[in-house]
């Protein structure tokens, strides 16, 4: 047992771009440090270090800090990993880490970087980012459906079928048309999901893929999470989204799920239209500056000055609080 923890001086560390040869050291840092934020599967770390922008603070043979970006979409990317070695002061570490990281992103022709946080990471990540130029972007709205009834079946003229690998280009086209770049899911996410997700359905009209939905299964099938539902803008208002949603709900019911969840961001709620009709309990968040306590499902307000949250007693659980922050532009020196 360690009774004394050494204090690390960031001024003694050198920033440099990560390489695939750093895999072991970065893996060790991510597994051992107390201050870490990880938004990718561990199996993807080698690929990220090989192809996505990542920056390290190193001292000799030791890696003291790491920040790892995700795959680019247009000129945007996300912070997918962040870790500080124990004993490294948070503020000083961010001062040493972020400017060269932003310079690295600029060298890759990236001008916007986003971070999506939750309670655990926000305690130390969000304040550090906010004081270094990151601004609040949006809040997440979480829909939780415990009564798996289907009030409406939507447009029955649309053909729904299990998506195939050959549909990947069409599905990606739908995704790009429906979401801003920072919210796009790229080939590395959608490609494997078409093959592996328990539910991945394409909506067709006259042989053209004009929408899709996919869901994942959790807790031995008791929870189904609707990861994506999208319809090309020119086909909206025709009951196609309702048809997709009804199909998802029916799939979850047949699989024996107790709960179906859907996340979206607050600026996109207006686009849900009729998708909001099948009585989904909602949770809306407006972040201020504090982490709220855990509350029972019938709570309506947290301490004034923190945030207002609406729950329904129909909710079976309280989803994790999430919101996104951005640094834009990053086309200037820090």
Question: What is the tens place of the pLDDT at every residue in 142-167?
Answer: 778 888 888 788 899 999 999 999 99
pLDDT category of residue 285 using cuts at 50, 70 and 90:
very low
CB neighbourhood size of 73 (10 A): 20
Query: DSSP letter string over 111-149?
Result: -EEEEEEEHHHHTTHHHHHHTTT-EEEEEEEEEEE-S--
Checking DSSP bridges between strand 159-162 and strand 135-145, what pairing results, if any? unpaired
Q: Is the pLDDT of residue 305 over 80?
A: no
Q: What's the token pair of residue 220?
A: 């031995």
Q: What's the token pair of residue 331?
A: 């086309």
Alpha-carbon distance 2 to 4, whole Å? Answer: 6
| pLDDT confidence of residue 186 | 81
Q: Is the pLDDT of residue 203 over 80?
A: yes
The answer to whether the CB of 269 falls within 8 A of the CB of 310 is: no
Average pLDDT over residues 59-83: 93
- Residue 69: name the closest of 108, 95, 43 by CA: 108
Instruction: Look up the pTM and report it.
Output: 0.70
Average pLDDT over residues 47-74: 94
| pLDDT confidence of residue 119 | 63
| pLDDT confidence of residue 182 | 80
Question: Which residues fall within 8 angstroms of residue 263, CB to CB, at 6 or more apart?
Answer: 140, 141, 142, 143, 225, 319, 322
| pLDDT confidence of residue 207 | 94
Question: How close are the terminal C-alpha atoms of the chain, in Å?
Answer: 40
Q: Is the pLDDT of residue 276 over 50?
A: no
Domains and CATH numbers, the chain: 10-137 (3.40.630.30), 147-280 (3.40.630.30)
Q: Is the pLDDT of residue 333 over 90?
A: no
Q: What's the token pair of residue 9?
A: 């001086």
pLDDT category of residue 267 using cuts at 50, 70 and 90:
low
pLDDT category of residue 325 using cuts at 50, 70 and 90:
low
The answer to whether the CB of 197 falls within 8 A of the CB of 216 is: yes
pLDDT category of residue 39 using cuts at 50, 70 and 90:
confident
| pLDDT confidence of residue 326 | 66
| pLDDT confidence of residue 314 | 25
| pLDDT confidence of residue 312 | 23
| pLDDT confidence of residue 257 | 93
Average pLDDT over residues 79-105: 95
Least confident of 208-212, 280-284, 293-297, 326-330: 293-297
Q: Is the pLDDT of residue 199 over 50?
A: yes
Computed from CA positions of residues 232, 237, 240, 243, in that sequence, does the dihedral angle turn out positive or negative? Answer: positive
Q: Which residue has the tokens 């890759």?
A: 108
pLDDT category of residue 126 using cuts at 50, 70 and 90:
confident
Q: Is the pLDDT of residue 27 over 60?
A: yes
Q: Is the pLDDT of residue 292 over 60?
A: no
């Amino acid at each position: 047992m360690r009774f004394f923890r050494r204090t690390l001086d960031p001024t003694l560390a050198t920033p440099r771009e990560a390489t695939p040869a750093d895999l072991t050291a970065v893996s060790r840092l991510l597994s051992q440090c107390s201050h870490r934020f990880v938004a990718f599967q561990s199996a993807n770390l080698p690929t990220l270090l090989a192809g996505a922008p990542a920056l390290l603070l190193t001292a000799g043979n030791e890696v003291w800090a790491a920040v790892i970006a995700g795959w680019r979409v247009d000129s945007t990317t996300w912070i997918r990993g962040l870790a500080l070695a124990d004993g490294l002061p948070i503020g000083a570490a961010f001062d040493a880490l972020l400017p060269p990281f932003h310079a690295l992103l600029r060298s890759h022709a990236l001008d916007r970087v986003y971070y999506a946080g939750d309670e655990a990471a926000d305690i130390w990540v969000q304040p550090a980012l906010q004081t270094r130029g990151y601004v609040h972007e949006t809040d997440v709205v979480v829909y939780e459906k415990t009564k798996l009834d289907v009030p409406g079946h939507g447009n029955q003229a649309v053909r729904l079928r299990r998506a195939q690998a050959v549909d990947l280009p069409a599905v990606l086209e739908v995704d790009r048309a429906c979401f801003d770049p920072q919210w796009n899911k790229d080939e590395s996410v959608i490609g494997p999901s078409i093959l592996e997700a328990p539910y991945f359905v394409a909506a067709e009209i006259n042989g053209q893929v004009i929408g899709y939905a996919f869901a994942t299964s959790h807790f031995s099938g008791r929870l189904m999470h609707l990861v994506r539902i999208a319809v090309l803008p020119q086909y909206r208002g025709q009951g196609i989204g309702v048809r997709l949603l009804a199909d998802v709900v029916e799939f979850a019911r047949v699989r024996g799920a107790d709960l179906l969840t859907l996340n979206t961001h607050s600026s996109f709620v207006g686009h849900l239209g009729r998708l909001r009709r099948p009585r989904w309990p909602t949770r809306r968040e407006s972040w201020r500056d504090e982490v709220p306590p855990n509350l029972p499902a019938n709570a309506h307000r947290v301490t004034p000055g923190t945030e207002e949250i609406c729950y329904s007693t129909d909710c079976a659980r309280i989803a994790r609080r999430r919101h996104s922050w951005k640094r834009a532009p990053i086309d200037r020196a820090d």
